Amino acid sequence: MTGATSRRRQASAGTREPCHTRTEEPAILKIAGLATRRFSLVTVGLLASLILVGCGGGGGVAGEAEIRLLEVDSPLKSPVWGPAQQAVFALQQDQGRLVKAEVTDVASNLEGGSDQEGSAGGSVPSVPIFVAGLDEGVGENLAAVLSGDGALYVPQPALDQVAVVENDSLGVIRTQDVGPVPERVTVDARAGSPAGDHLLFALSQEGSTITGTNLESGEIVFREDIEASDDTLIEAARTGPNAELWAAGPEGVSYYSVGGLRQPVELDRAATALAVQPGDATRAFIGDAGGEVTAVRATSALEMRVEEDTTVGEKVEVLAAEEDRLYVATSGRLIVLNTESLEQERVVEFAEARQSFADAVPSGIAVGEQSIYVTLENQPYMLEIEKS
């Protein structure tokens, strides 16, 4: 990332009102508890503000956020939602393994199980966990193709390879050579596209090289030396004939069109979080340490244009995007933004739900059909937040 600066659009005074969270009476926060062998939701008296906000005169409505604190044996990171399995796939933060957390089986697990006391204090439901048999640990994230037969892609930097894992049994199908010391991975596959179009990208340890490999032939089709770091994030997508790849970190933001543009499009802005707009791979969202969330677009004129921005008030830890919603996790809140305007639609305060480990920050977000799952750094728990 060399840092070509784009023109940033700024609203002049009086042309656009900033989006503020309205102050409302706090709503009662619900957390699932295990008091008997039957599954139940118990109100524990914790207070949270769930604000539905329509900026620019739409007003706000206070509602009730349903949050469950789930025990997951060990701290997890980089969660991914598996729609076919109705489970969360993630990496163990300390033990270096791939796991499947069957979050939708919590209720049935409690029906026949015995009472358990979570280490956070009080009774906390425990999620059934299945562990993949991988050797030599894992990297910083995992990638997934979850449509059709699908697979999980897990970097193993100590072995200079990526393990391709079957997403039901967690058995290793094969290993893939993707360049030296792969630390982070991403796949450009889109639903319904042929396997021959799928590219796996890997960022090397210390962020020096990005390598793209065809998953069917194993041929290396892309390699770029970049000036990045361990904190650089990568995310790929495909909405046209070419694969698009985004990289973002302390050094700035870069966009690559594999098979298209011959050079990257860059923006000189530090980032702590990255998400690509579903259905539009030339548009992405970045968050930073100052709490700013920005929508940017890479153009064929080799410019990166700032389309929208907003401020959430504290460091952006993680971003995750659906077609019309952007989920922003900070140290104590989940903020839902409209992807087109970046106006706030919902704010969920979850700091109180973490009980005795209130300082734990999010390590990842997985977006399911009914709920959002937030893993917590250094803590063997996960938050399940009901979608509105």
Whether the predicted pLDDT of 315 surpasses 80: yes
Asked if residue 15 is part of any domain, the answer here is no
Write down the pLDDT at residue 104.
85
What's the pLDDT band for 357 if we cut at 50, 70, 90?
Answer: confident
Q: How far apart are the first and last CA of the chain?
A: 38
DSSP, collapsed to helix, strand or coil, labels residue 99 as strand
Q: Looking at residues 330-352, what average pLDDT do you find?
A: 94
Write down the pLDDT at residue 25.
32
Q: How many domains does the chain have?
A: 1
Q: Looking at residues 289-309, what average pLDDT do you find?
A: 95
Domain CATH number, residue 256: 2.130.10.10
Give the pTM.
0.82
Whether the predicted pLDDT of 225 surpasses 80: yes
119: left (phi over 0), alpha (psi -120 to 50) or beta: alpha
More confident residue, 325 or 20: 325
Q: Looking at residues 24-47, what average pLDDT do you find?
A: 29
> Is residue 215 within 8 Å of 264, Cβ to Cβ?
no
Whether the predicted pLDDT of 89 surpasses 90: yes
Asked if residue 11 is part of any domain, the answer here is no
Write down the pLDDT at residue 347.
95
Write down the pLDDT at residue 229.
87
Write down the pLDDT at residue 352.
75
Whether the predicted pLDDT of 20 surpasses 60: no
Enclosing domain of residue 92: 71-104+127-349+361-386
Whether the predicted pLDDT of 197 surpasses 80: no
What's the pLDDT band for 112 if we cut at 50, 70, 90?
Answer: very low
- Of how many residues is the chain composed? 388
Distances (CA, A) of 187 to 108, 115, 206, 214, 339: 34, 41, 20, 10, 22
Asked if residue 216 is part of any domain, the answer here is yes
Asked if residue 372 is part of any domain, the answer here is yes
> Is residue 212 within 8 Å of 245, Cβ to Cβ?
yes
Write down the pLDDT at residue 11.
32
Asked if residue 75 is part of any domain, the answer here is yes
Q: Tokens representing 233? A: 């994030």
Mean pLDDT, rounded, of the chain: 79
Angle at 287 between CA 285 and CA 288, to 5 degrees: 150
What's the pLDDT band for 38 if we cut at 50, 70, 90?
Answer: very low
> Is residue 189 within 8 Å of 145, Cβ to Cβ?
yes
Asked if residue 49 is part of any domain, the answer here is no
The strand pair at 59-63 and 67-71 is best described as unpaired
Asked if residue 121 is part of any domain, the answer here is no
Asked if residue 120 is part of any domain, the answer here is no
Q: Looking at residues 79-107, what average pLDDT do you find?
A: 90
Number of C-beta neighbours around residue 173 at 10 A: 14
Write down the pLDDT at residue 193.
62
User: Of 93, 136, 179, 37, which is closest to residue 360 (Cα–Cα)?
Assistant: 93
| Dist CA 49 CA 65 (whole Å) | 8
Write down the pLDDT at residue 350.
87
